[in-house]
Structure 1
Amino acid sequence: MSQSKFAAKMGVKRQYINKLVHKGIIPSYDGKRVDDIEAERLMKEFQDPHRDNQRDLNKQKRKNNDLFEASNSYESIADMSEDEKQLMLQKQREKLDELQAEAEELGVGKENIDDLEKMDMKSLNKAILQQELRIKRAKADESEKKSVPVDYIQEKAFEAARLTRDGLLGIPSRLSARLAAENDPHACRVMMETEIIKQLDNLSEMFSEL
């Protein structure tokens, strides 16, 4: 039997079978073919130390009845018990429900994720990633609508500064004759303050329009 057909029979990837062949765990014949009965027996006998450690950790978690923590820390779905798989599915559906509510507030459509109960873990994970991406895009679009181009700000700031400068430089010509004719220092100060405050108010008004 070819390695690819044997991998399909065992429900694993062809690369995994090829890896076992290269390691000498499963013998190959006529190039890349394997004896399916012999190979199946050898696969069952073969134990990956890393997976053994993971299984031991999983057993310990199950003894502690901490399904919530356990379902979040396994390397693959195959390591989970049926209760843990169901818990993971429940959590994923709740996550997708939360994302859907947030998406609706942002005006994002449901995008064919209505029937959550029929989704397996793979479908739920895919839907969660897609929905998170839609929400990020919607938020980015909203942020872009509220943003103002940098060039526009720079242009308006330069214009405001120029008008303020011109207004301040014009104060002496506007007040010189009046100040020369005024003998009261207080009146002189009031006239100058009034002109300066006027220019500052104009500047504030221009920036408030940005």
Structure 2
Amino acid sequence: MSIVFELIPKDKPGVERAEKLMGQSFNEVHSIIHQLLEWIPDMNWSPTRMHKLLYSFRLVLLLVIAIPSVVLAQHGFSAKEEALKLFNKYKPVIEKKNNAFVENPRIISGDINGDGREDCIVSFVMTSRNSGNAIVGHESAIYLNSGMRMKVVGAFPAFNFCYTLDHIQDQVIFGKEYECRPPYDNVLRERKFAYVDGKIQAIF
């Protein structure tokens, strides 16, 4: 059992417990949110008004952070679905700007900025409107998860190689570099990327 369950209010003022709860991660606090909600109305066991105010204040801070996540989970919030909705809404703009067709959008998800939330990257190629299936561009849009919604924050820079993205693990984005000519299936090497200071960098 996680140590955070031992910090749920029992029959004492609980100020020390509140202090320790404030130091726990978002994911840990999220796991006991319903128990905290049950204890908010019942403050009669606190011996002093100061303890009541301090304890209530700290629990409210915790709930303000955690409740949005609970609400989103109950309504079936999906980071991937929300990111794709945003991407598809902007897709016509991309096609018009580049005079090309957006083909094969592929989404991968995982935490890329260390906040514990599921972020998304939508990777796609663009084919010429005038030259058949020739690939004229490859881009990847970055969507960060705020806990309540997805937000596009940028895109991969223009590298001097072609690549595909496979998955995200431990804040590292894994992919492959391939030869930039038909049939576009000759893999040259593994690639790794990272989201550093708001920008994507190739780290291998």
Q: What is the TM-score when the length of structure 1 is the normalising length?
A: 0.24
Q: Which has the higher contact order (CA 8 A, sep 6+)?
A: 2
The structure with the greater share of residues assigned to strand is: 2
Structure with larger Rg:
1
The structure with the greater share of residues assigned to helix is: 1
Q: What is the TM-score when the length of structure 2 is the normalising length?
A: 0.24
